């Protein structure tokens, strides 16, 4: 099983600032990595797939990078609607998720 580790567990950011979230895989997953956003009471939302491709309708302030074992999700200028929990998921083998990063208002 590929273990995904996200850091930090919680990120405190002021609106308008940049947020950088990390995801590490226990072995290489190439670029077979996706990012999701979860907000209370809402359906999970796909943000990024292929490590860096934005899903349909996702604003350009969200960007993904990395390959192999190290990945980053960057939110360039946090909007109020971006405060949420973010998960990474690898699909290089049977899927597994990271533990999540909660982005909260500073």
Binding test (CB under 8 A) with another protein, winner from 19, 21, 23, 34: 34
Q: Positive or negative CA dihedral for 56, 60, 61, 66? A: positive
Say whether residue 57 binds another protein (CB under 8 A): no
Binding test (CB under 8 A) with another protein, winner from 43, 60, 80, 81: 43
Say whether residue 55 binds another protein (CB under 8 A): yes
Q: Are 86 and 36 in contact (CB under 8 A)?
A: yes
Integer-rounded Cα radius of gyration of the chain:
13
Which residues lie near another protein (CB under 8 A)? Answer: 1, 30, 32, 34, 36, 43-46, 49-50, 55, 87, 89, 91-100
């Amino acid at each position: 099983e590929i273990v995904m580790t996200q850091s930090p567990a919680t990120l405190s950011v002021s609106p308008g600032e940049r947020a950088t979230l990390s995801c590490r895989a226990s072995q290489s997953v190439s670029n077979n990595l996706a990012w999701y956003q979860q907000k209370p009471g809402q359906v999970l939302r796909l943000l990024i797939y292929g490590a860096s491709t934005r899903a349909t309708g996702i604003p350009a302030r969200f960007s993904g990078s990395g390959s192999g074992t190290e990945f980053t999700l960057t939110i360039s200028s946090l909007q109020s609607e971006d405060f949420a929990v973010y998960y990474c998921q690898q699909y290089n083998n049977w899927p597994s998720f990271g533990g999540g990063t909660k982005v909260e208002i500073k």
